Structure 1
Amino acid sequence: MNTFRRDRSSARMLTLKTVALAAAISASSVALAAENGNQRYSPGIGGSDMTSPLVPGWYGQVAMVAYHASKIKGNDGKQLQQSGNIPQAALASPTALGPTGAGFFPQGINYSGAKVGIKTDTYAILPRITYLSSEQVLGGNIGFTAMLPLVRREIELSSTVPTLAAANVATLNGIGASAAVTSLPRAVQAGIAAKSSDTYGIGDLEVSPIWHLEIGDHQHMTVAPTVIIPTGDYDASRRANAGFGNFYTFRPSVQYAFVGDGWDVGARLLLSFNTRNKDNGYRSGNVLNIDYQAMKFVSEDIRLGLQGYVVEQFTDDSQDLTGYSVAQRMLLANSADLSTGNKMRVYAAGPALGWLANGGEFLLEGKFLKEFGAKNRTEGQAFWLTLSKPL
């Protein structure tokens, strides 16, 4: 939630033939922490609400974000290298080995060393409505906030040619299928690229009660136990989706701000707890988010500062495909190494600039956040532009 005002006594503001085989084995999806390396929170969305006082009333906000990444990192923090297995069912296709040849590989054929490249862009508009009542419970004001995103995502994947396991290569040569030693790795490469996709649509609805407590003249705290409902467009076989999946997320948050006569500082701590996705059996691990901001007025209506965030997944991903057919398992299986937990991590920091128009008619805020230290997810940068207005 973002709200704002102008307070003259403190001057503070209150405040988005190989092609067929490749299709058959494209279930060897790129390993990303959580499902598709995403989470139901936009790190960096918090802004002036973290460093400003809050008063009762209705507020509207539209946050807009453009996120771009050209790096994808693995569990070691380096460029992701894909390993996986071509299942026997895929090998049995006429364009691979056929039923007879596939019979020599009941456990499929293992591959490794495919260095994955990515180019991804996300553009989102995040409209939010917030209300804070003058009524109090346990000394704090109560209210609610709701947000429904509009999202466009584009993901383009590529990879180098992987290497087949030495034992599998020996078996292929022994049965007279040496051509497959070349064709299968290239089909895996094409299968990874086949996961490229783009989409646009409505995202998942967020709703939350809020409880706001003033702590003296310069400090305040806001608690928001948010529930995210799977209203967004989603297809389990598609890499890019407007929604995050057929599951629910409970995301309690605590926000603290110190608003003084110099620098204003604030931080928001969130914990995301996910249920299992009913469409593919995947359960994304729980995630800690910390957003922070420090701002200072440099003129009557302009303030400048620093913003950043921390994303740290603290429980493992898992997937349960019990009850799914073999064909469904091939399509839905995530090839991430779940034995490592497949936990995501990333940090970001950058400048923030705010303009308070006409003494409080509206607030326009922009920021640029650069990510670093990523694991099991993309590493990129985001441009944010947020308009907040009392209603």
Structure 2
Amino acid sequence: MSPQRLARVSLAVSPVRLAACALAASLVSVSAGAAENGGQRYSAGIGGSDMTAPLMPGWYFQAPVVAYHAKKIKGDNGKQATYQVPPSPPFVPAFTAALDIDTNVRAVQPRITYLDNTRLWGANIGFTMMLPIVQRHADFSLTAPAGAFGPFQSTVQAGLDAQAAQISGHVSGIGDFEMGGILHWELADNQAMTLVTTFVVPTGDYQADRRLNPGFGNFYTFRPSLQYSYIGDGWDFGMRGVLSFNTRNKETGYRSGNVANVDFQLMTFVSEDIRVGLQGFAVKQFQNDSQDVSYLADPSDAATITNGNRMRAYGLGPAIGWLKDGGDMMVEGKFIKEFGARNRTEGQAFWLTISKPLGL
């Protein structure tokens, strides 16, 4: 989220209050993406062993656990994000403040998947559902240019510090529930393709006047994905393309722009039960955010809302997996470092995923 995305502006205009709103607009989620408060419901980089392991009819349980940390917010030019603070006559002119963040997000995303022997259009049909448990912590800061305000320097900085402290905080709770239908095709030459049509509903803990929330907002997301897998004798390869289409948040009037994600994984066995490889992702927003100004206390505040500033980011890192008894259970760990971020945070994520066929 760009610091210029002031999605929920309904306040008296002052440098300190506007600075606080800029901070609020740059909050990060585990998926970190664009959209309202910086949140994207799809976790970039979550795809892993489920893309490079066979999928047979039956029940499956999967529990990805992620720890995400970021200390950077990148602007539209890929450099540290800044915020243009308007003037406060008669003593303080307009100025540019540096925007910083120190955030940690931890989440577990338990998922149940079922694939049936029934076929439709040549594919096995099934379903999947997931309810995340999320913990978010964020400390924000705005820094005025050194020595720019003479005797008012400490006063200006103290005001920015106070507002940043009000927005910073810690929350935990249940996230947004998702469910989807599955069509899985077994193709020739150890190849498979899987189509999942996911709907995400706003079940998570969310308050529109709170800057950190376990849920993303009172809106819905339709998220189709198409996955290709090659399970070979040497290398296993999987790639998933995901599109996220969002409705408008009924509590704020903000509509998060639609986003495209691509995840991939390349793995090879180095022993009978250990495999190693490479994991990566790309995420790019392809539609501007928008704001329904009728939700604002003062419609003139719409001038401070910048629609656009689309986000993007890439990630890459190593992965290692352990198979118990040839596939009775799989444990996978990976580290993904983000780079090339625009209008969002840039950090790193540690993932630990347990996958187990339930054999029912």
Normalised TM-score (structure 2):
0.86
Whether 1:359 and 2:360 are equivalent positions in the alignment is no
Q: Which residue in the other structure is 1:43 paired with?
A: 44
Structure 1 residues 329 and 222: alpha-carbon distance in aligned structure 2, compared to 1, 3 A threshold: farther
Secondary structure of 2:21's match?
A: coil
Alignment match of 1:346 (pick from 313, 318, 321): 313
CA distance in 1, matches of 2:303, 2:256: 12
Alignment match of 1:337 (pick from 273, 294, 306): 306
CA distance in 2, matches of 1:239, 1:329: 22
The alpha carbon displacement at 1:191 in A equals 2.1
Alignment match of 1:137 (pick from 120, 139, 143): 120
CA distance in 2, matches of 1:198, 1:368: 24
Secondary structure of 2:40's match?
A: coil
The answer (yes or no) to whether the contact 1:161–1:189 under 8 Å persists in 2 is no
Alignment match of 1:292 (pick from 264, 285, 290): 264
Q: Which residue in the other structure is 2:293 paired with?
A: 321
The alpha carbon displacement at 1:321 in A equals 2.9
The answer (yes or no) to whether the contact 1:286–1:316 under 8 Å persists in 2 is yes
The answer (yes or no) to whether the contact 1:297–1:303 under 8 Å persists in 2 is yes
1:360-375 alignment, distance < 5 Å: 360-375=327-342
Equivalent residue pairs, number = 336
Q: Which residue in the other structure is 1:13 paired with?
A: none
Where in structure 1 do 4 or more consecutive aligned residues deviate above 6 Å? 178-182
Whether 1:282 and 2:254 are equivalent positions in the alignment is yes
The alpha carbon displacement at 1:239 in A equals 2.2
Structure 1 residues 131 and 78: alpha-carbon distance in aligned structure 2, compared to 1, 3 A threshold: same
1:67-78 alignment, distance < 5 Å: 67-78=68-79
Secondary structure of 1:29's match?
A: helix
Structure 1 residues 213 and 147: alpha-carbon distance in aligned structure 2, compared to 1, 3 A threshold: same
The alpha carbon displacement at 1:55 in A equals 0.5
CA distance in 1, matches of 2:201, 2:345: 25
The alpha carbon displacement at 1:275 in A equals 0.8
1:302-345 Cα offsets, whole Å, 9 max, x none, are: 0000000001001111112314434x998xx896633xx12111
The answer (yes or no) to whether the contact 1:152–1:198 under 8 Å persists in 2 is yes
Q: Which residue in the other structure is 1:250 paired with?
A: 222
The answer (yes or no) to whether the contact 1:28–1:335 under 8 Å persists in 2 is no
Among all aligned residue pairs of Structure 1 and Structure 2, give the percentage whose two residues are the same amino acid. 55
Q: Which residue in the other structure is 1:154 paired with?
A: 137
The one-letter amino acid paired with 2:262 is I
The answer (yes or no) to whether the contact 1:346–1:373 under 8 Å persists in 2 is yes
The alpha carbon displacement at 1:283 in A equals 1.1
1:126-173 Cα offsets, whole Å, 9 max, x none, are: 10000000000000000000000000000100121169xx9xx9xxxx
Alignment match of 1:126 (pick from 90, 103, 109): 109
Q: Which residue in the other structure is 1:306 paired with?
A: 278
Whether 1:387 and 2:354 are equivalent positions in the alignment is yes
Whether 1:115 and 2:98 are equivalent positions in the alignment is yes
Q: Which runs of 5+ in 2 are unaligned?
A: 1-13, 27-33
CA distance in 2, matches of 1:364, 1:334: 50
Normalised TM-score (structure 1):
0.79
The alpha carbon displacement at 1:192 in A equals 3.4
Secondary structure of 2:293's match?
A: coil
CA distance in 2, matches of 1:122, 1:329: 35
